[in-house]
Structure formats: C-alpha cells, structure tokens
C-alpha cells in the first residue's frame, strides 16, 4: 500500500501519479481537475498560450479544483538563430509546403506578425497568478525567475533527458527533476546535446539521475499502468509521469481519430521525427512523416516547421485525414485500456495498493 514519500509530501498530493502536460491545445482544464481531484497532480501544457490566456487558464483551473496542479511552459520557444523570419525567408520556407496545402485545398498562410509566444512574458503571467507548480522543458529558466518562484512558494519542476541535464537543473536549484526516457510520447526535450544524442531509455536514465541529484525525481517515458509506476518507484523515483495514457482519455483535448489510433497501435509502432514541428518528437508514423523524412528541404527549424505544418494537421483532424494528422504516442501505447481519466486514476490507485 502506498503511504507517502518526500515528493508527495512536497507536492501535497496523495498518490505518486503525475499527469504529463500536453502542449498544442491538447491539455484541458477538465483533465487537470480530474487527476488533481483524484489525488494525483494534473498538469496543463501552456506553451502556445499568450500571457492573458495563461492568467485566465489558472483562474479556470482554480475554479474546478482546490488541489495542487502544474502549469507547463517551454523555456526555449524557438531554435537558436530563428527568433525572426523575414518575408523573403517566409516565401522560401512556404515553397516545399505548397503541394501539401494544395492537396488539402487549403489557402497558403500569410506572413505572420509573430509566430511564437515570448517565454519571459508568459512567465510574468504565471508568476502573477502563482500556480502551485511551474513545470518546464527545453532548458532552465533564469536565476531571477527561479528565485521569484521560491519567494512565491511556487514549486519548480524541470525535465532532463540526460544525467548532465539533471545535474544542471539541480545545480540551478530546481525543486523537482523529471527524468524522461526516450520511450516518451511528445517531444524529446533535450537542451544540452542534440535530441538525437539524448536518447536514453527510462530504465537506464532514472536510477542514474536519482544517484546524481539530491532532489526528488519523477520518472517518465513508457509508463502506462501501475506496474510501470511501481517499477519507477523501485528505481528510486518518487513519482511517475504518464502522458500517452491520459492523452487517450476522453478528458484530453485530442481528436477521436488520434484516440482511435492510440488504442489500435502496437507499442513498437512509433517513430521519432522532426516533421511536424522541427523538434524531435515521437509519433505513430504516417505518410506526411515519411514524405518529410524523404525530402531534403525538411525539417525547418522550430517553430517555423510547426507554423507551416499546423494548418495541415488542423485540417486533417477536421477531415479525419490520417495522412496529415499528428498522432503523438509513447511506446507504452500498446498497454492502453482506459478511455476515461477518472477510471484510469481509479485503476492506478487500486493497483498501486496491491
């Protein structure tokens, strides 16, 4: 029977279960509340939201749960050297995408005023609202931000894909370290070496991170049931973060087509690709990914690739077109059983107690 540990005490949650945040409008207030109200930690991926939306979001979450929750941002919202895009670059980048837009009968995008949210402005909004937990990926926030979190008693939770990244986060004074193995769905959130050189599996990464840092560690990547959570605890982690298992539930913001492909997927049938965003992420393979992988003009840097690919995946979701759908999935997809986060939490808690 699970009692409590250093991390569950610190987070003030009952069970060592973290619902991983999802960017790109796939998180929902309902999912966060369901998990937090059941005794885990719900998380909302807010990296594409403007500051005012982040403030509203935090108020909305507080309206539906009195329990702790996390708000997640991306420390780096653009690849080095690509903070701006000239009109000439825009035209050049659009060119290889044109056949895809034509295939879906979509009008070409217009030159944008901005194509990403400013992290500093997002953080200002977050600090003003003081959520219980600030979780982040793709880097370490500045010292001043971490200091302000301490002052406001906002717990910080940073993600590492390697032991060196974990040590960097630890030395910066981050409160909780997420060790995320290469099995994980979504992006490979490396921030020191290229993502392709940061592909350590959860089983190898977690105990090495536990040995290297004094902070409590959360394990993520390929964990979809209580056996995985127990294994993570046995490796020295003090909680497990599940992404794909919650994404498959009705409370998440994804499409029914995506849910269906998650349930139909064999766990080994995922690929790492930069095709949809310009950063490496794990998906169920489809034709768009194969064509991008075969094309020398792709991938463009992040977020330029996602700026041009987003309309394609949105149209694909509306048209139930699997060729252009971005079906993120972790390697644990083959274990999925639950279609409701309420039922999933119930099962995880029951199985953790036996």
Ligand X SMILES: Cc1cc2nc3c(=O)[nH]c(=O)nc-3n(C[C@H](O)[C@H](O)[C@H](O)COP(=O)(O)O)c2cc1C
CB of 60 to ligand X, least distance (A): 18
- Per DSSP (E only), the strands in 17-150 are 17-19, 42-45, 69-74, 133-137
Cβ atoms of 101 and 318 closer than 8 Å: no
Q: Helices (DSSP H) in 152-221: which residue ranges?
A: 163-171, 202-212
Among 8, 15, 23, 42, binds ligand X (CB under 6 A): 23
Residues near 21 by beta carbon (within 8 Å), at least 6 away in sequence = 27, 43, 44, 45, 46, 70, 71, 72, 135
At 177, list the tokens.
């370290």
Q: Which of 146, 174, 247, 262 binds ligand X (CB under 6 A)?
A: 247
How many whole angstroms separate alpha carbon 65 and alpha carbon 9? 18
Name the residue number minimizing CB distance to ligand X.
243
Does 183 bind ligand X (CB under 6 A)? Our answer is: yes
Among 123, 126, 217, 220, binds ligand X (CB under 6 A): 220
Of the candidates 8, 11, 20, 145, which one interacts with ligand X according to CB under 6 A? 20
User: 95 or 154, CB closer to ligand X?
Assistant: 154
Least distance CB 333 / ligand X (angstroms): 8
Site for ligand X in 83-142 (CB under 6 A): 137
Sequence-distant (≥ 6) Cβ neighbours of residue 162 within 8 angstroms: 190, 192, 193, 198, 200, 205
By CB neighbour count within 10 A (0-12 exposed, 13-18 middle, 19+ buried), where does 293 fall? middle
Q: How far is the CB of 10 from ligand X (least distance, A)?
A: 19
Of 16-24, 92-100, 162-170, 265-273, the window that binds ligand X (rule: CB under 6 A) is 16-24
The verdict on 241 binding ligand X (CB under 6 A) reads yes
Which tokens belong to 224? Answer: 């979809």
Q: Is 311 in the site for ligand X (CB under 6 A)?
A: no
**Interacting residues with ligand X (CB under 6 A):** 20-23, 26, 45, 47, 72, 137, 159, 180, 183-186, 220-223, 241-244, 247, 328, 330, 332
């Amino acid at each position: 029977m699970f009692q409590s540990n250093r991390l569950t005490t610190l987070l003030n949650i009952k069970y060592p279960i973290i619902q991983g945040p999802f960017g790109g409008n796939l998180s929902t207030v309902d999912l966060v509340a369901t998990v937090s109200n059941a005794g885990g930690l719900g998380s909302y991926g807010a990296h594409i939201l403007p500051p005012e939306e982040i403030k509203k979001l935090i108020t909305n979450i507080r309206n539906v749960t009195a329990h702790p929750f996390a708000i997640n941002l991306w420390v780096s919202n653009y690849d080095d050297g690509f903070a701006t895009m000239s009109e000439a670059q825009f035209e050049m980048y659009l060119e290889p995408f044109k056949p895809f837009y034509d295939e879906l009968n979509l009008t070409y995008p217009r030159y944008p005023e901005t194509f990403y949210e400013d992290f500093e402005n997002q953080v200002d909004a977050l600090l003003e609202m003081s959520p219980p937990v600030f979780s982040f990926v793709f880097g370490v926030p500045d010292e001043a931000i971490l200091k302000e979190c301490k002052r406001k008693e906002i717990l910080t939770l940073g993600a590492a894909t390697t032991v060196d990244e974990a040590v960097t986060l630890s030395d910066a004074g981050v409160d909780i370290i997420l060790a995320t193995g290469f099995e994980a769905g979504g992006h490979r959130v490396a921030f020191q070496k290229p993502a392709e050189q940061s592909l350590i599996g959860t089983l190898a990464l977690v105990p090495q991170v536990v040995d290297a840092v004094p902070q409590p560690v959360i394990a993520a990547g390929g964990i979809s049931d209580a056996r995985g959570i127990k294994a993570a605890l046995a490796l020295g982690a003090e909680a497990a973060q599940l992404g794909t298992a919650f994404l498959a539930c009705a409370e998440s913001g994804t499409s029914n087509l995506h849910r269906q492909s998650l349930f139909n997927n064999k766990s080994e049938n995922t690929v790492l690709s930069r095709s949809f965003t310009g950063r490496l992420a794990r998906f169920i393979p489809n034709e768009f990914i194969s064509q991008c992988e075969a094309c020398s003009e792709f991938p463009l840097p992040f977020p330029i690739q996602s700026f041009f690919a987003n309309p394609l995946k949105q149209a694909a979701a509306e048209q139930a077109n699997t060729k252009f759908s971005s079906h993120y999935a972790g390697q644990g997809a083959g274990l999925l059983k639950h279609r409701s986060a309420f039922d999933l939490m119930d099962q995880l808690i029951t199985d953790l107690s036996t």
